[in-house]
């Protein structure tokens, strides 16, 4: 079975965390700078990250959510099936990040002083704006040895390590709090309660030819499955769901 996995946020903060997570994955996937197209994909993700973090300073929200999760996890200590050594390690890691984030430099602020990134970013917003006549410095940068380009990309990414590590840790711990259960969307529709959940995770068989759309908030959510083509008619749709 060829399953497609989806994640849907149930609040605006989680939406931002998932977008940041996706952008980091894109940057890391193209970090090798093997060719010009991989380089362009890296810079596209980097500039999207810069624009997203300029709109909102997520350090405070991320710190509060990590502290809230740490206190929740401390309450699990009395459970008989809990690995207390692992729990203590995770709580200490959450506490460290929660303390460091508000005291750190705003992510990406150092990039504003980089003239090369500034010249490139300015042209990224123009359709076809990365032609050699638009940004003559870019072909020169691409002509450098791959190892040198990769080292510079790794240096840019290292400036974001704290945010990346904290964001990934929080999302991973949220994900682990929900287990997948089978469900049936009657006539391609399903709804349920979502008290205290941050995100929904769905698995669906690609052979069914449909995709989910989600509406909701912290208390309730609704999932409607839509067909890939207008000619297709949907009945009951089986899927797996985890509320995290």
Q: What pLDDT, on a 0 to 100 scale, did the predictor assign at position 18?
A: 97
Task: Give the H or E element holding residue 160.
Answer: none
From-to residues of CATH 2.60.440.10 in the chain:
178-243
Q: What pLDDT, on a 0 to 100 scale, did the predictor assign at position 136?
A: 92
CA distances from 221 to 4, 224, 241 (A): 20, 10, 12
pTM over 0.95: no
Within the chain, strands assigned E span 3-9, 181-185, 189-193, 199-205, 210-216, 220-227, 237-243
From-to residues of CATH 1.10.3900.10 in the chain:
11-175
Q: What pLDDT, on a 0 to 100 scale, did the predictor assign at position 219?
A: 79
Q: What pLDDT, on a 0 to 100 scale, did the predictor assign at position 218?
A: 65
Neighbours of 16 (CB within 10 A): 19
Q: What pLDDT, on a 0 to 100 scale, did the predictor assign at position 163?
A: 94
Three-class DSSP category at 175:
helix
Mean pLDDT by 10 residues, the chain (244 residues): 92 94 96 91 94 87 94 84 85 94 88 90 86 90 94 94 95 94 96 90 95 86 92 92 95
Domain formed by 11-175, architecture: Orthogonal Bundle (1.10)
Burial class (CB in 10 A: 0-12, 13-18, 19+), 79: exposed
Listed residue (210, 215, 213, 172) closest to 194, CA to CA: 215
Contact 135, 123 (CB under 8 A): yes
CATH topology of domain 178-243: YacF-like (2.60.440)
């Amino acid at each position: 079975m060829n399953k497609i996995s989806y994640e849907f946020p149930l609040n605006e903060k989680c939406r931002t965390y998932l977008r940041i997570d996706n952008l980091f994955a894109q940057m890391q996937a193209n970090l090798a700078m093997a060719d010009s197209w991989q380089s362009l994909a890296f810079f596209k993700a980097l500039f999207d990250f810069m624009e997203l973090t300029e709109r909102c300073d997520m350090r405070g929200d991320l710190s509060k959510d990590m502290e809230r999760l740490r206190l929740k996890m401390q309450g699990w200590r009395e459970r008989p099936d809990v690995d207390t050594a692992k729990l203590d390690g995770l709580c200490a890691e959450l506490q460290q990040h929660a303390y460091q984030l508000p005291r750190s430099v705003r992510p990406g602020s150092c990039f504003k002083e980089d003239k090369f990134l500034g010249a490139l970013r300015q042209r990224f917003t123009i359709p076809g704006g990365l032609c050699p006549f638009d940004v003559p410095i870019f072909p020169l940068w691409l002509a450098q040895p791959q190892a040198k380009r990769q080292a510079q990309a790794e240096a840019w990414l290292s400036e974001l390590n704290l945010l990346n590590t904290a964001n990934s840790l929080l999302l991973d711990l949220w994900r682990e709090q929900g287990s997948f259960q089978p469900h049936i969307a009657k006539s391609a529709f399903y709804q349920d309660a979502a008290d205290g959940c941050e995100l929904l995770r769905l698995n669906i068989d690609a052979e069914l030819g449909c995709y989910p759309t989600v509406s909701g908030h912290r208390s309730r959510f609704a999932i409607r499955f839509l067909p890939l083509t207008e000619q297709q008619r949907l009945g009951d749709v089986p899927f797996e769901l985890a509320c995290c």
